[in-house]
Structure 1
Amino acid sequence: MDLDRSHVIREGDLRILNPFDAGKLATLGQAIRLRPGMSLLDLCCGKGELLCTWAREHGISGTGVDISTAFVAAAGERAAELGVADRVRFVHGDAAAYVPGELVDVAACVGATWIGGGVPGTLEILERALRPGGMLLVGEPYWRRTPPDQATVQGCHATSREDFHELPGLVELFGRCGFDLVEMVLADQDSWDRYAAAHWLNLSRWLDDNPDDDLAPQLRAELTEDPVRHVRYVREYLGWGVFALRRR
């Protein structure tokens, strides 16, 4: 069980594996009022930047789970670098099936609601790890503008308009699932650009170093096509944010 190699190459040396920057991640940690001693479970934790930086800044502890051995290793290194390895740990495994030994104060799945087949199923997975009165964090795309045609839908890495909600519809969905939205921090076009463009630079450098690799033609095509896709579709039509929820 591991993540596809192309994904690891694309993310390169990035620490935050979504359209957030360090400032937005810090804003989110402050906005949800983390306190020393709180516990957090981060499903599909990537390289552990959320858990490691919040452990350092807010004195929390927790566990991150990810399917990528490379990301889990990077998360462990980051924890040691920030001096929080005694308070956080990282587990390689299936996030959807992970059961924590104890219930937590905050359960997060930032940008990977595929683990539950969408938002409602992911909320169910998260809530089973949550203490009564705790908080869920969900990262999810949404339509900034209604896509006018199927080319726009596919250019935003979707198969149909129904794959994502517009922002009011997403908030309403949280309510139908029985949750109040209590905080949110949204990506903007600049943070989308930083994330997307970092992929292009990672791919370009990797192609320089690995011209004869079996993945080279695929990643060469991606580097050719993705910048146009991003500026034509993604940055104009697709939003992304992290939403803090509490059970009604």
Structure 2
Amino acid sequence: MDLPRIFAIREADHRIHNPLTEHKLATLGAAVRLRPGQTLLDLACGSGEMLCTWSRDHGIHGTGVDISTVFLAAAEARAAELGVAGRVTFVHDDAAGFVLPEPVDVAACIGATWIGDGLPGTLTLLERSLKPGGLLLVGEPFWRLDQPDQAIVEGCGFKDRDEYDSLPGLVESFGRLGWDVVEMVLADEDSWDRYAAAQWFSLRTWLDANLDDELAGQVRAELDTAALQYVRYRRPYLGWGVFALRRR
């Protein structure tokens, strides 16, 4: 059980596997008013940067769950580097369906709502590990246009524009599902650049060293189109943010 290799190649040098910079991640931690001793579950935690830095900065304890052995090894190394290995635990498992036996103060899924087959299912899954009155954190894309055309949709890597909503539509959907939005931190063009453009450097570095690898053709094809697709479509038309929610 693991992620396909291409994901580890593409984001080999990422500590944050979504369009948040270190500054925005710190802003989010402060915005949701974390307190020492609170507990956090992070489903699809990637390399564990959120859990590790928030444990260092706010004194929280927590568990991160991810399917990638490469990312989890990076998470454990980061916890040791920051001196928080005794407060955070990382679990190699499929985040879809993962529920902790003891509920937590904060349950998060930052940019991986496919683990619940979409936003409603992911909120339901997270709530199963949440204390009454606790906080959910969910990261989700949204369209900057209310009605993106099909070329934009496909250029952003999706098949159907209805996979995601506009920002007002997304916020409205939280209310329909029974949640109040109590905070949010949104990506901007700079944080999108740091997420996307760093992938191209990682891909090219890997390709230069692995021309005979079975994935070399796939990596070369991605490099041929990734930058132009990004600046033409995803950068101007796709938004992304993390939303803090409390049950109504």
* Shift of residue 96, structure 1, vs aligned partner: 1.5
Secondary structure, aligned partner of 1:108: strand
Residues 160-194 of structure 1: CA deviation (Å, up to 9, x unaligned): 11011000000011001100000000000111011
**Matches of 1:17 and 1:222, distance apart in 2:** 18
CA distance in 1, matches of 2:200, 2:96: 30
What residue is the counterpart of 2:208 in the other structure?
Answer: 208
Identity of aligned residues (%): 68
The answer to whether structure 1 residue 17 and structure 2 residue 17 are counterparts is: yes
Contact in 1 for aligned 2:56/2:84 (Cα 8 Å): yes
Letter in 2 for 1:105: D
Post-superposition shift, 1:148? 4.1
| 8 A Cα contact 1:65 1:94, kept in partner | yes
Partner of 2:57: 57
Per the alignment, residue 181 of structure 1 pairs with 181
In the alignment, the residues of structure 2 paired with residue 208 and residue 69 of structure 1 have an alpha-carbon distance, to the nearest angstrom, of 24
Distance 2:232 2:29 in 1: 32
Shift of 1:98: 1.6
Q: Give the stretch that moved more between structures: 150-159 or 28-37.
A: 150-159
In 1, Cα distance between the equivalents of 2:243 and 2:99?
Answer: 22
Moved over 3 A (4+): none
Counterpart position of 2:42: 42
- Structure 1 unaligned blocks of 5 or more: none
Query: What is the distance in 1 between the residues matched to 2:140 and 2:20?
Result: 12
Amino acid aligned to 2:170: L
TM-score by length of 2: 0.99
Structure 2 runs not aligned, ≥5 long: none
Residues 109, 139 of structure 1: 8 Å contact kept: yes
Alignment of 1:64-75 (within 5 A): 64-75=64-75
Question: 1:3-22 deviations in whole A, cap 9, x for unaligned?
Answer: 01000000012100000000
Write out aligned runs for 1:195-234 (5 A).
Answer: 195-234=195-234
**Number of residue pairs aligned between Structure 1 and Structure 2:** 248
Matched-pair contact (CA < 8 Å) for 2:99–2:125: no
TM-score, length-scaled by structure 1: 0.99
What root-mean-square deviation, in Å, do the aligned CA atoms of Structure 1 and Structure 2 show? 0.7
Q: How does 1:88-107 map to 2 (within 5 A)?
A: 88-107=88-107
- Higher mean alpha-carbon deviation, 141-150 vs 171-180, is at 141-150
SS of residue matched to 1:96: coil
Question: Quick check: 1:43–1:95 contact (8 Å CA) kept in 2?
Answer: yes
CA distance in 1, matches of 2:95, 2:161: 27
| 3-state SS in 1 of match to 2:96 | helix
Q: Is the contact between residue 97 and residue 116 of structure 2 (CA under 8 Å) also seen in structure 1?
A: no
- The Cα of 1:151 is off from its aligned counterpart by 1.4
Residue 125 of structure 2 corresponds to: 125
For residue 91 of structure 2, give the secondary structure of its aligned residue in structure 1: strand
